[in-house]
Amino acid sequence: MKKQIMSESLKKLICAMSAPENCREDVMRLLAEYTPAIAEDLELTSMSYEVSVPATFGAVGSGMKGSGVMFDNGGSRAVEYKSRFETRNGGYLELIGTSAAEDPEQEDTFKTVCGLTFSLCGKINSVSDLLMLSVTDSLTGAMNMNGFRKTLAPQAGRGLLRGHASVFLNIKNFKYINQKTGMVNGDMILKELVVRFRELCGDNEGYIARLGADNFVLALKKEQVPELTAMLRSFRVELKGAEGDAEIKVYFRCGLYYMTDESTFEDLMNCCTCAYAAARGGKGDFVRYEPYMTEDEHHTKKVLVTFPEAIKSREFQVYYQPKVRCSDKKMVGAEALCRWVKDGRIIPPMDFIPILERFGNISHLDLYVVETVARDLREWLDKGITPVRTSLNISRRDLAITNLANKISEIVDKYEIPHELIEIELTETYTTEEFPMLLRLINELKGFGFRISIDDFGSGYSTLTMLKSIRADIIKLDRAFIKDMTESSSEDRIILKHVVHMVNELDIDVIAEGIETSDQVGFLNGIGCDVVQGYYYDKPLPRAEFDERLADPEWYAKRG
């Protein structure tokens, strides 16, 4: 009898397998369900398979080998038919059927049915691969955000992640590592991180996802966090280089969040990201989430969202803090300091400047302040009031702005302000990459005739040797420096004295800021620092009040 290729069972199997939502597990289930009936239709006595699937995505979906019996009615196995299918990536599937007697037609039908089934499996496999890709990071084999959400959101919803912590992780200076050692090595570090995380967690409910670039999010049992941080703190890798292999140490910055009974998947993501933002803001390298950080994050977002409109509607005001020469109590300069006046409330610069610095809008504000100061100076000059040299703060983030010196000069020229009335305060920068940019900017600014001062000198990063290469006109001794010196040992005072002497000898002017007491004034005068700025004389003043100081050169002398 001619075997019917399209038996009812085969038709049903094809229909069931064609459903678009099928995945690998469904294929296995359907084959197990329908094969006996198909084999029976073909009048086979047994049917079995042998399979080998190579690993597709590195560690994920690792390969498998196996064999099994799909149907066996115990009948005679006089004849054996084989159908073997090989995949391009080196895998294969072999289907073996046995029959009681030789029958070429039966063999043909068997092979056709096997071919049909295999091509259907193949289609589903490639769909599965696509599905796998949609949840996997192809470089590292970790999950991607989609996979992380799909895996963990349901678990968090059922309270299964109660004993877990989440970690947002980023590699410090990854861009630099990539540039210096090459992308291949950069990729290797990312892969190695995933491997080591998996080793650490074993089968112990550890999840890792790469969100893009060098950003990862992890979830693991709370008790494993110390092991994780220890692993990260001692992370070293062997890198391949043109001049041979070299070991480097990799540094990480992490935000950690310990889940509570109520934590949702959103909390798991948001809180570790928030802690990471705090780490980036300078809180440390491994920062644990605390509720106030969410407020900080809301504040950050609010600042960034409202800033463009605020600058348009001139909500930023410039306050002026006098610089006073102690010997004759004359105001010899002023520093322009920015305030944000929002809904009648004054927001201090520390509440918005670091945010603008981090997210790149600070240059708008700094140039706005340049313009405001230039306009004020013009007004004083037009009114016949003698202004004082005014200093402006330029953020180190502004170094990236092209033609910054030109831009400042253009604004100042628009108001026809003599350049020697303008002083630019720059803080010492600490990356070697930035230093040449700083030097260039200083030279350009000096070329335009602006005075340069080094702000916050003594706050940690500045060095005396750097003074030589920078050729600044003025150094401003940091408030903390003075505070420490006046409160502590005589040794510290000696150091400060020598610093001031040396700066004077280099023909650089010196000013002390943050001066609050007459003791401090006396001490500074004694060591040769005559000009001071601080609450002792005045706080930063709104324009109207500052005008009064300008109008009366004897103001401080009269006050005694």
Residues that bind Ca ion (CB under 5 A): 393, 425, 455-456
Gap between the Cα atoms of 560 and 557, Å rounded? 5
3-state class (DSSP) for residue 350: helix
Q: Return the residue nearest ligand C2E (CB atom).
A: 534
Q: Which is nearer to ligand C2E, 44 or 477 (CB)?
A: 477
Identify what 510 binds: ligand C2E, Ca ion, none; CB under 5 to 8 Å per kind: none
Identify what 128 binds: Ca ion, ligand C2E, none; CB under 5 to 8 Å per kind: none
Q: How far is the CB of 374 from ligand C2E (least distance, A)?
A: 13
437-440: long-range contacts at Cβ-Cβ below 8 A with a sequence spacing of 24 or more?
437/399, 437/400, 438/396, 438/399, 438/470, 439/469, 439/470
Q: How far is the CB of 326 from ligand C2E (least distance, A)?
A: 14
Identify what 338 binds: Ca ion, ligand C2E, none; CB under 5 to 8 Å per kind: ligand C2E
Q: How far is the CB of 319 from Ca ion (least distance, A)?
A: 12
Q: How many CA atoms lie within 13 A of 547 on its CB side?
A: 11
Q: Which is nearer to ligand C2E, 348 or 526 (CB)?
A: 348
Q: Which is nearer to ligand C2E, 210 or 396 (CB)?
A: 396
- The position carrying tokens 């690993």 is 55
Tokens linked to 382:
């037009």
Q: Which is nearer to ligand C2E, 157 or 522 (CB)?
A: 522
Gap between the Cα atoms of 377 and 418, Å rounded? 10
Q: How far is the CB of 348 from ligand C2E (least distance, A)?
A: 5
Identify what 348 binds: ligand C2E, Ca ion, none; CB under 5 to 8 Å per kind: ligand C2E
- For strands 92-99 and 79-86, give the pairing: antiparallel
- The position carrying tokens 């040797």 is 465
Q: How far is the CB of 462 from ligand C2E (least distance, A)?
A: 13
Q: Which is nearer to Ca ion, 164 or 397 (CB)?
A: 397
Q: How far is the CB of 461 from Ca ion (least distance, A)?
A: 12
Q: Which is nearer to ligand C2E, 93 or 408 (CB)?
A: 408
Q: Which residues of 431-441 are buried (b: 16+ CB within 10 A; e: fewer)?
A: eeebbeebeeb
DSSP state of 186: H
**Four-point Cα dihedral 143, 144, 145, 151, nearest 10:** -30
Q: How far is the CB of 438 from ligand C2E (least distance, A)?
A: 14
Q: How far is the CB of 356 from ligand C2E (least distance, A)?
A: 8
Tokens linked to 230:
């220890």
List C-alpha distances in Å: 541 to 157, 264, 319, 354: 54, 48, 5, 22
Under a CB-based contact definition with an 8 Å cutoff, are residues 558 and 539 in contact? no
Identify what 186 binds: Ca ion, ligand C2E, none; CB under 5 to 8 Å per kind: none
Q: Which is nearer to ligand C2E, 387 or 540 (CB)?
A: 540
Interacting residues of 235 by C-beta distance below 8 A, sequence separation 6+: 193, 196, 249, 250, 251, 252
Q: Which is nearer to ligand C2E, 421 or 515 (CB)?
A: 515
Identify what 54 binds: Ca ion, ligand C2E, none; CB under 5 to 8 Å per kind: none
Under a CB-based contact definition with an 8 Å cutoff, are residues 18 and 10 in contact? no
Binding positions for ligand C2E, rule: CB under 6 A: 321, 337-338, 348-350, 353, 362, 365-366, 369, 393, 395, 455-456, 479, 513-516, 534-535, 540
Where is 254: in which H helix or E strand?
A: strand 252-258
Identify what 214 binds: ligand C2E, Ca ion, none; CB under 5 to 8 Å per kind: none
Cα-atom radius of gyration of the chain, to the nearest Å? 36
Q: Which is nearer to ligand C2E, 411 or 515 (CB)?
A: 515
Q: How far is the CB of 298 from ligand C2E (least distance, A)?
A: 21
Tokens linked to 505:
């000898």
The phi-psi region of residue 236 (left if phi > 0; otherwise alpha if psi is between -120 and 50; otherwise beta) is beta
List C-alpha distances in Å: 39 to 4, 9, 102, 540: 12, 9, 16, 92
Q: How far is the CB of 131 from ligand C2E (least distance, A)?
A: 50
Q: Which is nearer to ligand C2E, 186 or 540 (CB)?
A: 540
Q: How far is the CB of 467 from Ca ion (least distance, A)?
A: 16
Q: Which is nearer to ligand C2E, 72 or 516 (CB)?
A: 516
